[in-house]
Amino acid sequence: MADNAPPPPEAIEAQQAFDRADAEVHRLVEQLPSGVAVAAGEASIPDDLRAQVDEARQERMRLLKALLAVKRWPDDGGPHAAEAALRKAARGGAAPYAG
């Protein structure tokens, strides 16, 4: 069986940009107070942090749309193989992020 074609550079760059944006969202969300504390009135989300999280989420969504627009390429082995190959190439061979 022949190897599948490697991901094109623009697909790798799109995956890397998405990964950076996703990491930024995670970094900001970790700074949020617990939902339980907010619901109990013991904490609140600062307006500047709320705005940063919203902006980061919008950027991540924009980059996801860009990633999905370039994800497939000829002889990619199908959607699952293509996604796995793209993530591996974009992350230097690291295992796919599990969320």
d(CA 62, CA 5): 26
Domain boundaries, the chain: 9-90
Q: Is 81 exposed, middle or buried (0-12, 13-18, 19+ CB in 10 A)?
A: exposed
Q: Which of 11, 22, 26 is nearest to 60 (CA)?
A: 22
From first to last of its 99 residues, the chain has per-residue pLDDT tens of 346 788 999 999 999 999 999 999 999 999 999 999 999 999 999 999 999 999 999 999 999 999 988 867 778 888 888 889 899 999 987 545 544
Sign of CA dihedral 87, 92, 96, 97: negative
**Amino acid occupying residue 62:** R
pLDDT at 71: 65
pLDDT at 39: 95
What tokens were used for 40?
């109990």
Tell me the pTM. Answer: 0.83
pLDDT at 80: 86
